[in-house]
Amino acid sequence: MLFVDLLIQGIVQGAIYALIALGLTLIYGLLRILHVAHASLFTLGGYVGVIVTNQTGSLTLALCAAMVLVGLLGMLIYRVAYRPLLDKPPLVALIASIGLFIAFEEVFRIVFGSYGISFHNPPLRAQIEFGGGLLLSYSRILIIVMAVSFLSVLAWLSSRTRTGVAWRATVTDPQMAASFGINVENVRYLNFFIGSALAGAAGVMVVLLTNLAEPTMGAVASYKALAIIVLGGLGSVRGTLIAALAIGIVESFGTVYIGHILDRDAIAFAFLIIALMLRPQGLLRAG
Amino acid sequence: MAYEIIVATTMAITILFALSLNIITGFCGQVSLGHAAFYGLGAYTGAMLTKAGWPLIAALPPAAIVAGSVGFVVGLASLRVRHDFLAITTMGVAFLFVGLVRKQEWLGGEIGISGIPAVQFGRPGLLVLSIICAALFAALAVYIKRSWMGFAFDSIANDEDTARVLGIDVPRFKLWAFVIGTSGAGVAGALYAHHVRYIGPDSFGFVESVTVLAMVIIGGVGSVWAVALAAAVLSVLPLWFQFVSDYKLLIYGLLVFGVMRFSPDGIAGAVQRLLNRRS
Amino acid sequence: MSALLSVSEVTVKFGGVVAVEDVSLDIGLGELVGVIGPNGAGKTTLMRVITGLVKPFNGTVALDGEDITNWAVDKRVRNGLALGQQIVKPLTAFTLLENVALASGCQRMASPLQALIQTKRDKELAKAGEFLDMVGIKSASDAYPSEVPLGYLKCLELARALALEPRLILLDEPLAGLNQAEATEMADLISSLVNETRSILLIEHNLREVIRICPKLYVQDQGRYLDFGPTSEVMANPKVRMAYLGEAKT
């Protein structure tokens, strides 16, 4: 049973990573920028989730609020931080993003305190039992269901709707897309909105699991998300998903079996480094 | 007097640390988001040796060698991946170092190493030693810049593939940059350990790597004087203004963002443009 | 007498696609050879095999009898080869003079240790001036690549290649993007650079100029050798005409 337990833990963790990493990969695919500040949006989502739930008692409302607010902030970041830097070498944007991320983290700490905030009444704590003594909390189930739903909706939108097709075209070839009349700027804003909203949702989900929204919660998740999108082959959605699950599972098993040598994050990064050395272009090339 | 000595020592050590990263990222253009790991390697090596009875001066070369050897290995990674990928790989190194050290009991585990012996000539002695090391390294940096190695580095930082087509053995030069830079960080780390007398894995993580990178960038990649200045100012800013200490990271973050947004070539670049406009 | 450059039975595959198939070619010292062929003939790929940017699936490349097939690009350049690329790649952070001086100091940077102990650049800067003069752009010595027109940058590619003091220069479409007058000037310049210590291999689409200045032509079509020999004979070869013009008119 330990195996299944670990596997599920790994999948849940991987699902969360996937939601965060997806936004990153969407943005990288479009702009070739590693958007480190993405993690701050994730953190903000967590805070909004807690605050709104505590105020209104509704987790659903909190989730929507988090996604919308964070999505809007993401668009703002694009406008203020990245758009002016599009003609500079990508490293400039990366470092600017790191600066922004650190600043945000500090703002959370200063405004909400170093110790974070929690739910007054942690929702979805109850667990249900599956055959063989396997206990799964409602929150974990919800996370998997939400992750799968979001990703499916996104996949459907991008292949069946005009907006989705326009978006895909812009990612593949912006100039060509522009000459077909697609408003590239709008696509970029949409991209940031969706990617950030997903991160916000992920933030709510993590707080659901840990019952704590604190300033540094974005840190490791973000670094790992970066590692994940690089591993998955920058810009490839499928690669990102595979890499996210892989890292979630590797971490889950790794901490149990080699946790006495390396801590959890080191395991994830060791996996990343080895994988990159073996396949420097990432697991899958950008679709 | 004692307080000023402490501040000055902090400055000297940080200058050395930043200048060492400047060789890798500034001169040779290889982004490294894990430089604090080498600082840590030097710190732990130095601390363990002096606790075993070695005088600090004798502990400096081993600190440099340990850091430089690992730096060589990490440098090999830079031959496989570039730019974004290299940034992430070096970031991974930062986490790997902390994650590994945290679990090793013989290195003090989570708690780290405390009771690191005082330097023989006390704080003034450490200050003098730190200044000498920083000055020597700065001189080395200026020399490299003027030499053909610096010329090669400049071309690699500008366009690796073209440098190769002009007959430059890019991989070897990159490795040299990594070894020189990480060895310098190792020495800085050893000095640091004896400055603060207590070290733990958390002092050498990703945030510290970003901080030192921020100094290199704010100074202006490649410029020795500007990076030294940025390092000196940023290292003691929190000490001078108490309230700043609490907002230190926020200021760092905003500074880094601001510099990248408005003057990506840092202070040095801004000064250069000012001079050009005058003449 | 071993040829300066000897390409032997080289085949290059990219994934499943054969870009170059079983090609052999010998160039001697002091020769100016044009490499021509219709689009997609694999000429650039052949060039990249010779310079070392691409590894062949089969076959060897030899310089002065020495097998360089497994040598890295920079090693070949340090040993007598130079490349002028189709898409010009100046070092944007350097002035034109510094670009050429870097090339001129190639041997000084043969190893990092060697490079570290040498600091003097005046000799190379002086030589750089001469090379810039040779290609006619000395006046722009202190300009940056972003400040000069394409023609100058093409001359810079040439000056840099010359500064490496090679025995063999490979030029990939040096006339591309130039108007007729400029192309003729550049072609004349290239022609003047060949001497008993230096050969030039020239890929070009501008047939008019190539035929005019190159005594010998090598023709490749769809990755395969088509013809090699004195220009007039090659151009009279019906197979060559067909490759370019399609079905011959009766």
Residues of A with CB below 8 A from B213's CB? Answer: 95
Cβ proximity of A123 and A53 under 8 Å: yes
Question: At A39, which amino acid appears?
Answer: A
CB contact under 8 A, B161 and C75: no
Residue A92: its chain B contacts at CB < 8 A? 260, 264
Percentage helix, strand, coil, to 5, in chain C? Answer: 40, 25, 35
- Please state the rounded mean pLDDT for residues B210-228: 88
Checking if the pLDDT of B228 tops 90, the result is yes
Residue in A closest to B255 by C-alpha: A99
CB pairs under 8 A between B and C: 90
Residues 236-275 of A with CB under 8 A from B: 259-270, 272-273
For residue A106, give the chain B residue with the closest CA: B250
Contact flag B165-C115 (C-beta cutoff 8 Å): no
Question: Which of B176-190, B234-248, C135-149, C153-167 has the weakest average pLDDT?
Answer: B234-248
- Rounded Cα distance between B137 and A201, Å, is 49
Which range scores top for mean pLDDT: A139-148, A212-221, B123-132, C6-15?
Answer: B123-132
Record: contact B91-A227, CB cut-off 8 A: yes
Whether residue C204 contacts residue C175, with contact meaning beta carbons closer than 8 Å, is answered with yes
Lookup: tokens for A41:
């949006």
Cβ atoms C215, C39 nearer than 8 A: no
Instruction: Pick the residue of A102, A104, A264, A272 with the most B CBs within 10 A to test the interface with B by mutation.
Output: A102
Q: Check pLDDT > 80 for residue A285.
A: no
More confident residue, C69 or A33: C69
> Confidence class of residue B236 from pLDDT cuts 50, 70 and 90?
confident
Q: Give me the pLDDT at residue C249, please.
A: 45
Using CA atoms, how far apart are residues B255 and B266, in angstroms rounded to an integer? 10
- A75 against A115, higher pLDDT: A75
Label residue A132 by pLDDT band (50, 70, 90): low
- Nearest by CB to residue B146, choosing from C102, C103, C119, is C119
Give SS3 for A26: helix
As beta bridge partners, residue C169 has C82, C200
d(CA A52, CA A69): 12
pLDDT(B117) > 50? yes
Strands C224-230 and C58-63: unpaired
Task: Count CB-CB contacts under 10 A for residue A66.
Answer: 31
Could you read off the pLDDT of B13-65 as tens digits, one per residue? 999 999 999 999 989 989 899 999 999 999 999 999 999 989 999 999 999 99
Give the integer Cα–Cα distance in Å for B191 and B273.
Answer: 36
pLDDT band with cut points at 50, 70 and 90 for residue A284: low
Sequential DSSP letters for A226-270:
HHHHHHT-TT-HHHHHHHHHHHHHHHHHHHHHSTTTS-HHHHHHH
So where are chain B's domains?
2-206
List pLDDT tens digits, range B170-201: 999 999 999 999 999 999 999 999 999 899 99
pLDDT digits (tens, 9 = 90+) for B29-38: 898 999 999 9
What average pLDDT is seen over chain A?
82
Condensed to tens digits (0 to 9), the pLDDT of residues A64-74 reads 999 999 999 99
Q: Which residue of C has its CA nearest to B154?
A: C93
Chain B environment of A84 (Cβ under 8 Å): 261
Chain A residues whose beta carbon lies within 8 Å of the beta carbon of residue B83:
90-91
Domain spans of chain C, in order of start: 1-80+167-250, 93-165
Which range is least confidently modeled, A94-108, A252-266, C168-182? A252-266
CB C236 within 8 A of CB C243: no
Is the minimum CB–CB distance between C116 and chain B shorter than 8 Å? yes
Task: Give per-residue pLDDT as tens, C31-67.
Answer: 999 999 888 788 888 988 999 988 888 899 999 889 9
- Which is nearest to C51 in space by CA: C160, C171, C156? C171
**For A103-122, how does the pLDDT look when each residue is reduced to its tens digit (9 = 90+)?**
898 899 888 888 888 888 77
Cβ pair B66, B184 in contact under 8 A? no
- The pLDDT tens digits for A52-65 are 988 888 888 889 99
What does the alpha-carbon distance between residue A43 and residue A214 come to, in Å, rounded to a whole number?
8
- Residue B231 CA to residue C10 CA, distance in Å, equals 55
- Residue B248, pLDDT > 80, answer no
pLDDT value of position C79: 93
How do the domains of chain A map onto residue ranges?
2-217
CATH architecture of C1-80+167-250: 3-Layer(aba) Sandwich (3.40)
Q: CA of B153: how far to CAs of B24, B144, B175, in Å?
A: 9, 9, 11
Q: Does B207 touch chain A (CB under 8 A)?
A: yes
- The residue-averaged pLDDT of A236-265 equals 83
Question: The tokens 């990506």 sit on which residue?
Answer: B264
Q: Residue A135: pLDDT above 80?
A: no
Structure tokens at B128: 């003098």
**Amino acid present at B258:** G
